[in-house]
Amino acid sequence: MTDDRTYGAEFFRDWLIAAAAAVDREADRLTELDSAIGDADHGANLKRGFAAVTAVLEKEPPATPGAVLVAAGRQLISTVGGASGPLYGTLLRRTGKALGEAERVSRPELAGALAGAVAAVAQLGGAQPGDKTMLDALAPAAEALGTSFAAAREAAEAGALATVPLRARKGRASYLGERSVGHQDPGATSSALLFAALAEVAG
Ligand code: ADP
Ligand code: MG
């Protein structure tokens, strides 16, 4: 079966606003996870960042998918205090830049743009999948998005769950060494929320 659907600026705005709602709903859980292996601010960090994203997208909705993502990425970089702000900001900005000026994009085009952005996040943070970071959810999700939105959601969720037995090699959790084992990574968990929101708006 061929899938020739394309997605415009409104879809991307709906995605990020749905992601903001999910982050808001799950903020306490994200902070709880970060209190086990970090500094207990991941929920608050992302809640603040995504509230700023929602505000800017509702006030002045950009006209193309790329512009929506670049504007959202910029908000995250400037409003999220923690390590996750520049990383998520880079993810969205790089995806947006790769989409260029296109009025509408297909799912495979989005998957390609996201894969490049995930590589940029890996480079910025010096991390790889397996290091117990957001990349453990982002990398498999971007790849699975080549198949479907639902596959991407499932891959992100599985990737987040798979961080539990890992030992953290990057970020604050790495300071704990072996004691990071047995806890789910907060950033991988929030990444799964982003892909769940994407699958939700895609229907
Ligand atoms: P901080 O660690 O500064 O308090 P947050 O609590 O907002 O920032 O985010 C923590 C999350 O960021 C971690 O759970 C992890 O997924 C992600 N993270 C931290 N450092 C890196 C890195 N170098 N590369 C990729 N992801 C990282
Ligand atoms: Mg933290």
Q: Residue 124 class from Cβ within 10 Å (0-12 exposed, 13-18 middle, 19+ buried)?
A: middle
Atom of ligand 1 nearest to the CA of 45: 7
Choice from 30, 47, 84 to test ligand 1 binding pocket (greatest atom count within 8 A of CB)? 84
One-letter amino acid at 48 equals R
Distance of CA 68 to the CA centre of its chain: 15
Beta carbons within 10 angstroms of residue 94's beta carbon: 22
Domains of the chain by range and CATH?
A: 7-202 (1.25.40.340)
Q: Which ligand is in closest contact with the Cα of 128?
A: 1
Instruction: Kindly report the protein residue whose alpha carbon is nearest to atom 20 of ligand 1.
Output: 171
Model-wide pTM > 0.85: yes
Q: Which phi and psi angles does 147 have, rounded to 5°?
A: -95, -55
> pLDDT in tens for each of the 203 residues of the chain?
567 899 999 999 999 999 999 999 999 999 999 999 999 999 999 999 999 999 999 999 999 999 999 999 999 999 998 999 999 999 999 999 999 999 999 999 999 999 999 999 999 999 999 999 999 999 999 999 999 999 999 999 999 999 999 999 999 999 999 999 999 999 999 999 999 999 999 99
Residue 1 has what pLDDT? 55
Q: Which ligand is in closest contact with the Cα of 47?
A: 1
Residue 2 has what pLDDT? 64
Q: Which phi and psi angles does 7 have, rounded to 5°?
A: -130, 130
Q: Residue 101 class from Cβ within 10 Å (0-12 exposed, 13-18 middle, 19+ buried)?
A: exposed
d(CA 99, CA 11): 14
CB-defined site of ligand 1, < 6 Å = 34, 38-39, 41-42, 45, 82-84, 87, 125-127, 133-135, 170-172, 185-188
Atom of ligand 1 nearest to the CA of 185: 14
Q: Which ligand is in closest contact with the Cα of 174?
A: 1
Alpha carbon distances (Å) from 183 to 89, 172, 201: 25, 13, 29
The 10 Å CB-count burial string (b at 16+, else e) for 33-43 is bbebbbeebbb
